[in-house]
Amino acid sequence: MNIICLEKVDSTNTYAKTNIEKLADKTIIHTLRQTNGHGRLQRTWIDIGGENLFLSIVLKPSNEYKEVYSNLTQYLSVVLVKLLKEYDINAQIKWPNDVLIDGKKVAGILSESVIQGNNFKGMVIGIGININTDKKDLEKVTDKDATSLSVELNKTVDLKTFLAQLTEGFFSKYDEFLEKGFDYIKKDYINSACFLDKEVCVQMFNEKKSGIAKSVTGKGELVISDSEKEFVLSIGDIL
């Protein structure tokens, strides 16, 4: 595992994708300042100050794209939830991969693939985690509730230690996950889910679907039902 630390960058995912040809498999791109971070469905990830964690993981597991790769963000969300338990924090997952603490967002995850022609060059898993943001800076996030580890624990968290724990946790079961797929983490994912059996509204680019979140399939898809029928959603965000 190779770690590249950048003092400041527009986006660790953009940096990783731009340089993916020369970056080795399992390279970690880490920065303290991210000026143009982005999340799922073209949302922005706001750098709200403090000593927070912005990183991207470069993965080159094969020369062709496989379906299981789409579930790597959910795998990372489970890894993060387990790590937070070591800090005595009971976190939850909002489909597909947002990590919350008591309903407040602490982390967002984004996966992007790099394909040139018919060639799969690799993928980049990006994650932003509010580690040491104080309450005043959290108030700058006006569109949704947010929190940080330092606020929840009422103390500063060592960033280097947390980075090491997260990346080691990710790679400790990474190969097994690729072999067995979403079913390998489904039980842990469901146990941490905060959305099941609730009325949800899912944004899918320019379309929305509403209904009761009934279950998660063996491929990590969300099953929702309204008064007429069930829908199986493979992409989107619960609003």
For the chain, percent of residues with pLDDT exceeding 70: 92
Structure confidence at residue 41 (pLDDT):
47
Give the dihedral sign, CA 38/41/42/45: negative
Task: State whether residue 178 is helix, strand or coil.
Answer: helix
What is the DSSP code (8-state) at residue 24?
P
Residue 25 shares a structural domain with residue 76:
yes
Domains contained in the chain, number: 2
pLDDT(44) > 80: no
Residue 110 shares a structural domain with residue 220:
no
Residue 212 shares a structural domain with residue 234:
yes
Residue 139 shares a structural domain with residue 203:
no
Residue with tokens 């992007």: 112
Domain that holds residue 230: 199-238
Residue 163 shares a structural domain with residue 215:
no
Q: What is the pLDDT of residues 52-61, one digit of tens each?
A: 899 999 999 9
> Do the beta carbons of residue 128 and residue 53 sit within 8 Å?
yes
Structure confidence at residue 117 (pLDDT):
84
Count the alpha carbons within 13 Å of 134 in the hemisphere toward its beta carbon.
Answer: 2
For the chain, percent of residues with pLDDT exceeding 90: 77
Residue 80 shares a structural domain with residue 179:
yes
Band (89; pLDDT cuts 50, 70, 90): very high
Model's pTM, two decimal places?
A: 0.92
User: Which whole-number Å values give the CA distances from 173 to 127, 152, 191, in the listed order?
Assistant: 18, 28, 18
Of 192, 212, 229, which one is at a domain's C-terminal end? 192
Of 158, 176, 192, which one is at a domain's C-terminal end? 192
Residue 23 shares a structural domain with residue 100:
yes
Residue 33 shares a structural domain with residue 64:
yes
Residue 151 shares a structural domain with residue 223:
no
Q: Which two tokens stand for residue 113?
A: 């693939």
